[in-house]
Amino acid sequence: MKKFEELTIGDTLGPLDLIVTKEQCRNYAKISGFGEVAGRFTDEEAAKKEGLPGIILPGNMSLGLLSKLVTDWIGPANARLIRMGTTYRVPVQPDHRLVLNGFVTNTNPNDRTAEIDVWIENEEGERLVTGTATVEFPK
């Protein structure tokens, strides 16, 4: 992790290639208490009845993966993710290849923060989830 002074607009996070398994998806849903209310995250048949191709990731899980992209970038440094906003554009499916990306879009020396664009895309390069994050560096 760079120091705040070493950051440059355009610095990249990722790309991180990953596949979320159905098991991970179900586990995440259960932990978040979704299991009993929304079968679309846990049960293939229930998801298909809703017109979905199969079970999908909870939106919060996508937010979790993008947060992890940022906290992995921070690593053991003493900087902190202080804000994240996400937009869920297209349902994200388990057992499909996902690519997580990000880059620094702005730095603010007054409050020592960096603004970051983040997104999850599929193999075709379609952006499924987009977001922005703010990281605060030690004063």
Q: Please give the structure tokens belonging to residue 133.
A: 């994050």
Minimum Å gap between C-beta 15 and other proteins is: 16
**Which C-beta is closer to other proteins: that of 8 or that of 32?**
32
**Which C-beta is closer to other proteins: that of 10 or that of 51?**
51
Minimum Å gap between C-beta 74 and other proteins is: 8
Nearest to 120 by CA among 70, 48, 49, 74: 70
Minimum Å gap between C-beta 132 and other proteins is: 9
Cα gap 94→139, rounded to integer Å: 40
Q: CA end-to-end span of the chain, whole Å? A: 16
Residues 43-102 contacting other proteins, CB under 8 A: 59-61, 63-65, 67-68, 71-72, 75-76, 78, 80-88
**Which C-beta is closer to other proteins: that of 66 or that of 104?**
66
- Half-sphere CA count of 72, side-chain side, radius 13 A: 14
* DSSP string over 40-96: GGT-HHHHHHTT-SS----HHHHHHHHHHHHHHHHTTSS-EEEEEEEEE-S---TTS
Determine which residue in the list 28, 41, 119, 137 makes contact with other proteins, applying CB under 8 A. 28
Name the site residues for other proteins (rule: CB under 8 A).
18, 24, 27-28, 31-33, 59-61, 63-65, 67-68, 71-72, 75-76, 78, 80-88, 131
